[in-house]
A and B are shown apart, each in its own frame.
Chain A
Amino acid sequence: DAGVTQSPTHLIKTRGQQVTLRCSPKSGHDTVSWYQQALGQGPQFIFQYYEEEERQRGNFPDRFSGHQFPNYSSELNVNALLLGDSALYLCASSLGQDPTDTQYFGPGTRLTVL
């Protein structure tokens, strides 16, 4: 099991563009959470997907949206990119039915907005 995987590793976009990041959860996991980690900061919760629905959302604008597929993989979409969206985007997977379950993180996607 490769654990949580994310693609791409790095991405460079310009302001105003749109971006899609992808995440495959750890085998057996059905819940995917997305975090944004700006330089020098801890990860900040964006949203969580369970059973193909957004179950919980952090304090991020509607430009940030997501999707979860039947195989539990997930996408994070960001529209109208701003310079401030430059960050490491982390995906974490867990078991939705077990609130005490550990979240396993992927390696992240480094997004640079020019």
Chain B
Amino acid sequence: AQRVTQPEKLLSVFKGAPVELKCNYSYSGSPELFWYVQYSRQRLQLLLRHISRESIKGFTADLNKGETSFHLKKPFAQEEDSAMYYCALRADSWGKLQFGAGTQVVVTP
């Protein structure tokens, strides 16, 4: 069965400190992984996807198939990074997304 696990419900970090959000998945094939973000009072939006291999707003994520992980990292957290972050997996060609429960990030000055 497909599953996405985000073990941390809440991450509290200081501004300028590194932040890492963990995401583990279970899927037997080759999934496509995403990170979505939801800022306060805004809609869910795509932050990045593993096939793009790009850095968005200073965030990067590497797909580790051996560890079935797709952790999100940023070396220096900013206050504007405070948001809800969801890891998601697309396991078929029609676009169905399987989401984790989400991690709330709070960046304090």
Contact = CB atoms under 8 A, between A and B. Distances in A.
Nearest to B101: A42
Given A41-B101, A42-B100, A42-B102, A103 B95 contact: yes
A16 interface: no
A33 interface: yes
Interface in B32-57: 32, 36, 43-46, 49, 51
B44 A105 contact: yes
Interface string B1-35: 00010100000000000000000000000001000
Interface residues of A, number: 29
B29 to A, nearest CB: 14
Contacts of A27: none
Contacts of A44: 99
B98 to A, nearest CB: 7
A61 interface: no
Given A105-B44, A107-B43, A45 B97 contact: yes
A106 interface: yes
A90 interface: yes
Contacts of B51: 100
Given A31-B95, A43-B97, A90-B44, 7 more contacts: A3-B43, A42-B86, A48-B94, A48-B95, A56-B94, A99-B94, A104-B46
6 contacts: A43-B86, A55-B94, A58-B96, A92-B97, A102-B46, A103-B95
